[in-house]
Amino acid sequence: MTTLIQNGLVVTATGTLHANVVVDGEKITAVVDRSAPVPQADKIIDATGKYVLPGGIDVHTHMEMPFGGTSSADTFETGTRAAAWGGTTTIVDFAVQAKGTGLLATLDKWHAKADGNCSVDYGFHMIVSDVNETTLKEMDACIAAGVNSFKMFMAYPGVFYATDGEILLAMQKAAASGGTVMMHAENGIAIDQLVAQAIAAGRTDPVHHGLTRPPELEGEATSRAITLAKVANCPLYIVHLSAAQALAAVAEARDTGQNVFAETCPQYLYLSIDDLARPDFEGSKFVCSPPLRPASHQASLWAGLRTNDLSVVSTDHCPFCFKDQKELGRGDFSKIPNGMPGVEHRMDLLHQGVVSGHLTLPRWVEVCSTTPARMFGLYPRKGVIAAGSDADIVIYDPAAAQTLSAATHHMNVDYSAYEGMPITGKVVTVLSRGRLVIDGETYVGSTGHGQFLDRGLNQYLV
Ligand SMILES: [Zn+2]
């Protein structure tokens, strides 16, 4: 069964091309300039006036993740379906090692959650929260099992927190094995003191979540992570970078040639601490870590995306419902589950960056699809429209208008962080490995179509 996507503008990280795209089975078999004879196909999709993009790749999601006595509200089933609606055809989620358990047992557990439940393809990173001899040995087995990126935390003492010594050991191991260490860079030890002071003084509203996690403590932790990575000679990927201070540290390291990379997320580009300060506990909807920053940081982040000091946009999708979940922190902001929904809106929100002149069209595709694929060992199977690649294809109408709202989104969460926000552009068709998943206003995919991706190593390393 062959499909021809006709008359669209193919957008890749390197440019745009008026071309017809041929899909045979699960693969793209040809990208043919429109001046050439039109290839024959069993089925034709007309993409006149539309962009034809490689499917979005969101390398930072947390489906059904345990946190603070509750679990993020999207399952792999609902979360990957919502991702597809928004033009994301691959997610890389985090398997979470609980203290006292092994990495391989953890991986088995996450496979059990995801296998047979996903609408689009998925991979895993491993969260390392218990560094010991067994863990370090198991890192090699994880790499053999297609999981070669290991996330560690300088935040959350007593939960995920790792000491500098533990981080160094894991970095040495990753460096020797070809893995990449991903870092949540906030100084959790200092933050916990500020949180305790705030609670003791009765400053319990959601805005204090932001005020007790100042950007300086993200900058400091980012610098420290970079230094540890330099000593260990380990590739480092800073997750969800939110602060100008942290970006400056990343830029400096990159300028010296160190293998340091960073991602940011749409919430840091569009929302601010003013949202955390919304009255009547509404601010809890915007509690995530690192926290939303003063709006003055946003210009730095957009600039970082242009200069490639920020090379990926992911979502850190980790939704908790306002009712019953965010509400756990009424009267004590430190008990509000950390996380925001977003997996469905990343492609749209970053297209908005194209509309407003922050990004070029190819750069949009690069930060949302191509670089994530290369960073996490999926390229050229994913992240490009080219013969031989998986037919993960999004047809995007750049002229469509839509308004983001909980009333119309598909994520399993009772609010939108972007309620009422007008967006120019909309996904109209999504294919995952050649199979139609979104057809206009209809989901036509199937739970279980999504396959586990055995990923290769980071492709930016030489
Ligand atoms: Zn995260």
- Select from 437, 439, 409 the least CA-distant residue to 423: 409
Number of separate helices (H) and strands (E) present in the chain: 14, 19
Q: At what angle do helices 103-114 and 133-144 cross, to 10 degrees?
A: 40
Distance 152 CA to ligand 1 centre (A): 10
What is the chain's percent helix, strand, coil content, to nearest 5? 35, 25, 40
- Select from 363, 334, 346 the least CA-distant residue to 267: 346
Distance 278 CA to ligand 1 centre (A): 23
Distance 340 CA to ligand 1 centre (A): 10
Distance 327 CA to ligand 1 centre (A): 20
Distance 317 CA to ligand 1 centre (A): 7
Distance 169 CA to ligand 1 centre (A): 22
**How close are the terminal C-alpha atoms of the chain, in Å?**
39
Intervals of the chain under pLDDT 70: none
- Select from 315, 223, 335, 207 the least CA-distant residue to 265: 315
Distance 397 CA to ligand 1 centre (A): 30
Three-state SS at 56: strand
Count of other CB atoms within 10 angstroms of residue 151: 22
Q: Give the E-state strand segments of 248-356 in sequence order.
A: 260-264, 312-313
Tokens of 92: 């890389």
The pLDDT of residue 417:
98
- Select from 298, 287, 365, 295 the least CA-distant residue to 327: 287
Could you tell me the sign of the dihedral formed by the alpha carbons of 374, 378, 380, 383, in that order? negative
Tokens of 339: 């996380």
Distance 23 CA to ligand 1 centre (A): 34
Distance 134 CA to ligand 1 centre (A): 24
Distance 351 CA to ligand 1 centre (A): 23
Distance 338 CA to ligand 1 centre (A): 9
Q: 301 has which bridge partners?
A: none
Distance 290 CA to ligand 1 centre (A): 10
Distance 320 CA to ligand 1 centre (A): 13
Distance 246 CA to ligand 1 centre (A): 17
Helix (H) or strand (E) holding 422: strand 422-432
Distance 19 CA to ligand 1 centre (A): 37
Distance 35 CA to ligand 1 centre (A): 45
Distance 206 CA to ligand 1 centre (A): 19
Distance 93 CA to ligand 1 centre (A): 9
Distance 277 CA to ligand 1 centre (A): 22
Distance 8 CA to ligand 1 centre (A): 35
Distance 372 CA to ligand 1 centre (A): 15
The pLDDT of residue 73:
97
Distance 316 CA to ligand 1 centre (A): 5
The pLDDT of residue 69:
83
Distance 218 CA to ligand 1 centre (A): 15
Long-range pairs for 105-109 at CB < 8 Å and ≥24 separation?
107/142, 107/145, 107/147
Distance 339 CA to ligand 1 centre (A): 8
- Amino acid identity of 96? V
Reply yes or no: is the peptide bond before residue 266 cis, omega within 30 of 0: no
Distance 366 CA to ligand 1 centre (A): 21
Tokens of 363: 């750069």
Distance 60 CA to ligand 1 centre (A): 6
Distance 61 CA to ligand 1 centre (A): 6
Distance 286 CA to ligand 1 centre (A): 14
- Select from 450, 402, 426 the least CA-distant residue to 58: 450
Burial 436-445 (b: 16+ CB within 10 A, else e): bbbeeeebeb
Could you tell me the sign of the dihedral formed by the alpha carbons of 402, 407, 409, 410, in that order? negative
Distance 185 CA to ligand 1 centre (A): 11
Distances (CA, A) of 150 to 96, 173, 288, 308, 392: 10, 11, 21, 22, 26
User: Taking a C-beta distance cutoff of 8 angstroms, is the pair 263, 394 a contact?
Assistant: no
